[in-house]
Amino acid sequence: MINKLNFADNRKQDNSGDKNSGNGGSNKKNDDFDWSKIIKTVFSWGAVIIAAVIVMQLWRGGSSGTAEITFDVYQQLLEGDEILEGKIVKSDINDYTFEGTLVKEKSLNVNNTWVKTDKFTVTLVEPILQEQVKIWKEKNVKYTFIKNSNEWLNIILGFLPWVLIIGVWFLIMRRMQGGGSGSSSRGLFNFGKSKAKLINESQIKFTFKDVAGADEAKLELQEIIEFLREPSKFRKLGGKIPRGVLLLGPPGTGKTLLARAVAGEAGVPFFSISGADFVEMFVGVGASRVRDLFDQGKRNAPCIIFIDEIDAVGRHRGAGLGGGHDEREQTLNQLLVEMDGFEQNSGVIIIAATNRPDVLDPALLRPGRFDRQVVVDRPDVNGREGILKVHTRKIPLDIDVDLKVLAKGTPGLAGADLANLANEAALLAARKNKTKVSMEDFEEAKDKVMMGMERKSLIISEEEKKVTSYHEIGHVLVARMIPEADPVHKVTIIPRGRALGVTTYLPVDEKHTYSKEYLEAMITYALGGRAAEKLIFNKFTTGAGNDIEKATGIARKMVCEWGMSEKLGPLSYGNKEEEIFLGREITKHKDYSDRTAEMIDDEIKDIITRCMQRADKILADNIEILHRLSLELLEREILDSEEIDKIIRGEELPPIKKTNGKTDSSVSNSSDIPDHVKELLEKRKNKENGNNNEKIDGENNTIG
């Protein structure tokens, strides 16, 4: 099985405190407005005021011996000369309270209840107060007017709702305008402010010592650092500081880390923002944020502005159905103007990163904007060794750890993948309660990263396990017998990831171009598993689905892109399939005739058929080795390259200690061999004795 592994981007992030983040350097670590404090404060003061009012009302209410009577009962008491004296207190604007004392205790009707008391209160309105004063004088009732000492409380209670409303409105307006505890970029009405994070040199910084495997990129960026450190050196000779640097490369190769290292080496402020942070639901927000970002950069010049994943706003203009001047295009237009407008942004360098340079607008890539395009590719052997040294600085390594061997055994892995490998090895060692990380842990971590996690709990029948064993050995044996193929590194039938078995190949050296012979060899050993299933079991399974897909893809590219077909010649057929809505045509463009399409299909089929026949012949000629290897793989579940070579040479492997304590050789009995395979072995012996070669070859090709 051929497995092309694509690894996710695992960029190293700066998790420092970001004291100076946001717009121009707010010193707040967290710019979020804490509404809970405001709500708690309002409710706390409200509860205090309400409690105070209740206490005052209870205090003003007097003792339990005072009865509140109606005006009719008051008139009866007044006419009967039963009131001795009274106090008049103003209770409202037009209302007064008469607090009277009787000559002697009497039962009074209070809310249909008779209460015996000598004190009472009654409410008197202002129009009749003068008449009552005359009656009091005639009846010789002593009365006094008392100034209400609680009038201020009534005034405060009247104004309190308005004060609360004005206070809440004031806090909301300050929040909208970015005031208060939040930074100026966090206000509700300040959504046009940039969200770029400012990283000062006082914070944790990266240098080129933390970057390995990208020597050419570091040399290219060294000039940027010299520009920032000593710009006068270049200005004397008429040199201008570059406007922008575009970092191109697959995910996980260290583009973000390189940008941070440049900022650390130069010792200048470093603004970091993602391309997706520019565009939101409001019209014109993206362009406004671009303007604000460059304004911040000018205030902090010389500085570096790093835009990660610039393809989010830098795609081809006029994209989508019918094109249109949408929000993303406005943002891109403003970015182009800021980078190459009338104003000279001296001291501001833009570093952008993307893994999709093919979708960027051509206006971004022209000289004067992104002057430098630095390719950050996957590291070679020496680069991988350097990356492993960087990521194992803080890991206690055992004496047997050889980073050079690990680097050779991890072709195609990016920096993030190697960082993940070192971390997985440390975690595995910690699970085993080790004090140091050994080579065994690194090998186990490598298998986990490159082939997937072991699925030991997966239940597989013996028949399916046997089919898987022969399938994987088919790959191994075909690859071993073809000189152009990559050497087999390891084969296993332990389920890993989504595969029941995995065969890994280890290139001898780094390849950048591929010959026709090498590609045909890849197709041949990819189909080796299917050929083994057909030869041994005389049936096909779905296990070869991925192999057929990979083989067909290689054959199609050989014919349509690389001109490796003699019939069709060195021509390119069909445009490369690209994503829609990128300013290109939505429908597929067919630039060849139907007759040519038939020829392409025939040629692809011919390549696949020829490679399949070659795989069948190799396995049929080496049927004994195929059977021995498969049985050994069934017993041991894992075979490395040395063990495979020993079996091919006819040497016996050391016995395996089984769980019951007995030892047993891994070679199975002849009864496990299918009948048609036994017939094929007999014919092989006859071939060696000098029988008709053509006849035997024809039979070998038809068996199974």
Q: Given this model, what pLDDT does residue 687 score?
A: 56
pLDDT > 90: what percent of the chain? 9
- Is 472 one of the annotated active-site residues of the chain? yes
Q: What is the edge-to-edge ordering of all strands in the sheet holding 114-125?
A: 66-68, 114-125, 95-109, 83-90, 142-146
With contact defined as beta carbons under 8 Å apart, do 399 and 437 qualify? no
Question: Average model confidence (pLDDT) for the chain?
Answer: 75
Tokens encoding 515: 């010959």
Q: Between 282 and 436, name the one with better pLDDT.
A: 436
Q: Given this model, what pLDDT does residue 157 score?
A: 67
Give the position of tokens 């922008």.
244
Sequence-distant (≥ 6) Cβ neighbours of residue 664 within 8 angstroms: 655, 656, 658
With contact defined as beta carbons under 8 Å apart, do 277 and 287 qualify? no
Q: In 3-state terms, what secondary structure has residue 360?
A: strand
**3-state SS track over 183-245:** CCCCCCCCCCCCCCEEECCCCCCCCHHHCCCCHHHHHHHHHHHHHHHCHHHHHCCCCCCCCEE
Rounded Cα–Cα distance for residues 323 and 585 (Å): 12
Instruction: Tell me what the mean pLDDT of segment 35-48 comes to.
Output: 69
Residues 369-384: tens digit of each pLDDT = 888 888 888 888 888 8
Instruction: Tell me what the mean pLDDT of segment 377-405 comes to.
Output: 87
In this prediction the pTM is 0.60
Instruction: Please say if the pLDDT value at position 203 is more than 70.
Output: no
With contact defined as beta carbons under 8 Å apart, do 58 and 82 qualify? no
Sequence-distant (≥ 6) Cβ neighbours of residue 381 within 8 angstroms: 407, 408, 510
Options 220, 309, 338, 472, the catalytic residue? 472
With contact defined as beta carbons under 8 Å apart, do 7 and 413 qualify? yes
Instruction: Please say if the pLDDT value at position 2 is more than 70.
Output: no
Instruction: Please say if the pLDDT value at position 433 is more than 60.
Output: yes
Q: Given this model, what pLDDT does residue 92 score?
A: 67
Q: In 3-state terms, what secondary structure has residue 695?
A: helix
Instruction: Tell me what the mean pLDDT of segment 188-200 comes to.
Output: 58
Tokens encoding 221: 């960026």
Q: Given this model, what pLDDT does residue 615 score?
A: 92
Instruction: Please say if the pLDDT value at position 138 is more than 90.
Output: no
Q: What is the CA radius of gyration of the chain?
A: 44
**Please, what is the angle between helix 516-526 and helix 545-560, to 10°?**
160
- Pick left, alpha or beta for residue 343 (phi over 0 → left; psi -120 to 50 → alpha; otherwise beta): beta
Q: In 3-state terms, what secondary structure has residue 355?
A: coil
Candidates 468, 461, 561, 462; CA nearest to 516 is 561
pLDDT > 70: what percent of the chain? 73
Compute the CA torsion angle 218, 224, 229, 232 (nearest 10 deg): 140
Sequence-distant (≥ 6) Cβ neighbours of residue 650 within 8 angstroms: none
Instruction: Please say if the pLDDT value at position 11 is more than 60.
Output: no
Rounded Cα–Cα distance for residues 667 and 433 (Å): 37
Containing 102, the helix (H) or strand (E) segment is: strand 95-109
Give the position of tokens 């050497």.
487
Instruction: Please say if the pLDDT value at position 136 is more than 80.
Output: yes
Rounded Cα–Cα distance for residues 443 and 490 (Å): 12
Instruction: Please say if the pLDDT value at position 131 is more than 50.
Output: yes
Instruction: Please say if the pLDDT value at position 421 is more than 70.
Output: yes
